[in-house]
Amino acid sequence: MSDSPVKDSADRPDIAPVGPKGPRAPVGPDPIPDVYFRKGFGLKAEVQEELASDYNGRLVDLLREREFTLTAGGVTVRLAREFGFCYGVERAVDYAYQTRRKFPDRRVFLAGEIIHNPHVNAKLREMGVEILIPAQIGGKIDYGVVRPDDVVILPAFGVTIEDFEKLREIGCVMVDTTCGSVLNVWKRVESYARDGYTALIHGKYYHEETRATASQTAKHGPGHYIVVRNMDEARAVCDFIEGKVSAEALMTQFGHTVSPGFDPDRDLKRIGVANQTTMLARESLAIGVEVGAAMIRAHGEEYANANFKTFDTICSATQERQDAVVELLTDPLDVMVVIGGFNSSNTLSLAALCSESVRTYHVEDAGAIDPVAGTIRHRPLGAKAEVDTPSWLPDEGPVRVGITAGASTPNNKIGDAVARIFATRRIGSQAIE
């Protein structure tokens, strides 16, 4: 691949197709200069050694070689068969490294965290990438510091249409690492809005991905959306559809998670269900079924068939990691350790799954496991703060520990956690290998 700019319109809805004579102008009145990149810079080989040094894990490779199981000194550690960095995350981090290499003398900004992993974001800061963080969760990013000769990396979660337009107006270079799975959801939501459906999105209204997805409803005019966090909130919407609660009551609950000018009486007549790609897959599917059933009860099957749509838009990597955890839990485990950022939605989904079957500890990184003190610092499901739990691993006797990690957790951090689990029982690396 050459270093010339490439506009990938098949993935980015704001960019027009690439024609036989090169990139065409974008859809809309104003052309985009050659400053939008989505396919890297042909520098993958040059950054691979650095990426491997920063993120590969020796113990993870050993676990793979030994059928994802290591046993020593009465301790057995079993790793879920799908874990850690997914393709979308690998691609985003790779492109960020390529960007720094491509523009060594320019200021490089990142529109929010590239992924929800503190170590990866800290490493990018060390490389001179400045991360623009909103003043509050769910708030807007201030691009006032960005100049036309700067470079801005768009994260794996994507950015809102409003953010994209601001950056286009500035005229800076944009390197778009938005995950392909996210783009697929955008296309679905955009089609809902184009056809007059309101997007009911299963997700966290403040999450970067959900906000970017919801913005796609405005692609063809004033489209509408409502965001539900879980089945309980979905059922509240169903109650309105079936006439059990008033529009005023619904807006009291959801006024902060709906599109501007949202009118339940008007905007919940036609509904298309989508989701944040990292939510609990089975809940997303169940929400689609529940809302569809409410539409049938309220208006009849013929009406629902014409005015209700639902599709499974959970990304394959999220599904694979959840399926792998379910498979791992079919064997008896004494404890489960889930590694990943506390603001990582897919990691929280994994922790929720594990908690249903076994004592589970969600840790942000391997450093949370203290082999000397015999403690583990973790955040219980639904809690706002971490707690330290002593004697989380028995001092003697056989014990089986399961481990998995969210899609934004690098292998070296998983390997460090495995080493610390064994060290808690005073088992060194030589005994493991």
At residue 123, what are phi and psi to the nearest 5 degrees? -65, -40
Q: Which two tokens stand for residue 44?
A: 């993958």
Catalytic residue check, 82: no
Q: How far is CA 152 from the centre of its chain?
A: 20
Query: Cβ distance 221 to 47 under 8 Å?
Result: no
Q: Which of 137, 278, 115, 287 is CA-nearest to residue 199? A: 287
Q: Which of 343, 15, 316, 349 is CA-nearest to residue 164? A: 15
d(CA 386, CA 365) in angstroms, rounded, equals 12
In what side-by-side order are the strands of the sheet with 308-310?
225-228, 198-202, 271-275, 308-310
Pairing outcome for strands 173-176 and 129-132: unpaired
Q: Is 85 exposed, middle or buried (0-12, 13-18, 19+ CB in 10 A)?
A: buried
d(CA 341, CA 282) in angstroms, rounded, equals 22
Residue from 208, 209, 283, 364 carrying the catalytic annotation: 209
Q: Which two tokens stand for residue 200?
A: 């009911």
Cα separations in angstroms, 371 against 60, 368, 411 = 19, 10, 20
User: For 309, left (φ over 0), alpha (ψ -120 to 50), or beta?
Assistant: beta
- Annotated active-site positions, please? 209
